[in-house]
Homo-oligomer: A and B are copies of this chain.
Amino acid sequence: MSKHKPANKSAPAAPPVEIYYLLLTCPNRPGIIARVASHIFECGFNIADTRQFDEEDTDRFFMRVEFNPVREGADIEAWKASFSVLADEYDMTWRVRAQSQLSKVLILVSKFDHCLADLLYRWRIGELPMEIVGVASNYPRETFPHLDFDGIPFHYLPVTRETKMEQEAQIWALVQQSHADLLVLARYMQILSDGLAAKLVGRCINIHHSFLPGFKGARPYHQAHARGVKVIGASAHYVTAELDEGPIIEQDVERISHHHRPDDLVSKGRDIERRVLARAVRYHVENRVVINGRKTIVFTE
């Protein structure tokens, strides 16, 4: 797990050592690890952690590296410049982020606020290294009287079937104005249009309150109760145009019995949803997730 001190929202002292997270994917061939590792070392950095994965079905290679400067004058911009040459040679898709350059996150929510409250709490105590650039809801601010937004802008974006297009345009404008690089649907009970979903590929995470692929669509706990399953779950996934079919980032479950009414499942589900969503968001903002077609590769600790 992270060795770095948790990010602190209130103007932290600069960490003594910057850490960079590199994620890359390319067609598999021998020697990539050696090349990447050597390049990083030769540029004056040390590899603190690296994980890789060969996807056999597509013969693609995936890699995540945490590295930090160890030599006087090690410069990330110079590194990027020279690495891009190497990357071209191997036909890599890649991105690198400094740990201190926090992910900018916009949260969408409807009236159930357990995921929102949990994300805010974890962010506040430094468990989620991100900057929350806004909270938007189709419900007004008064819906959340007990939540302290702590200066985070709140946007009330009501929606009806007739105004959905306009409302989504507002969401999109918010994303752009706030430079959000992640949109989190924290029990946002509206289905994004294909158009908006398409603009947010790979940077919009939804929490679905069932153990996908079981019980897609509406009222999954009621579906689970009707089917008589003995375990329920929740799934955090990237949003795609196909409803509840996006690449799954994280799932978890809890055991239930015939005693549990749909309302009980909703209650148990709150616990599962909030921890599954928090983990998925953390994996994303720590640059641990790569989308691989309909699936994800998650380089956990």
Contacts and interface: CB of A to CB of B under 8 A. Distances in A.
Interface of A: 1-3, 5-6, 30-31, 33-35, 37-38, 40-42, 45-56, 70-71, 114, 117, 121, 124-125, 127, 145-148, 150, 211-215, 226-231, 233, 247-253, 257-261, 263-264, 267, 270-271, 275, 292, 294-298, 300-301
A124 to B, nearest CB: 6
A213 B228 contact: no
Contacts of A6: 267
Given A34-B41, A121-B117, A56 B229 contact: no
Interface of A is mostly: mixed
Number of copies: 4
Contact of A125 (B37, B55, B114, B150): B114
Contacts of A70: 30
Given A37-B37, A264-B2, A251 B230 contact: yes
B46 A41 contact: no
26 contacts: A1-B259, A3-B54, A3-B56, A30-B71, A31-B41, A31-B46, A34-B37, A34-B47, A38-B38, A48-B54, A50-B52, A124-B146, A145-B148, A146-B150, A147-B148, A211-B211, A211-B231, A213-B214, A226-B294, A229-B251, A230-B251, A230-B298, A231-B253, A258-B295, A258-B296, A264-B301
Given A47-B33, A56-B3, A228 B296 contact: yes
B211 A212 contact: no
A234 to B, nearest CB: 11
A34 B30 contact: no
Nearest to A297: B258
Contacts of A249: 230
B275 A271 contact: yes
Contact of A252 (B2, B121, B231): B231
Contacts of A5: 263
A125 B113 CA distance: 10
Contacts of A295: 227-228, 258
Nearest to A264: B1
Contacts of A275: 271
Contact of A211 (B125, B214, B270): B214
Contacts of A300: 257
A258 B298 contact: yes
A188 to B, nearest CB: 18
Given A248-B230, A296-B228, A301 B257 contact: yes
Contact of A121 (B52, B114, B261): B114
A31 B226 CA distance: 28
A150 B145 CA distance: 10
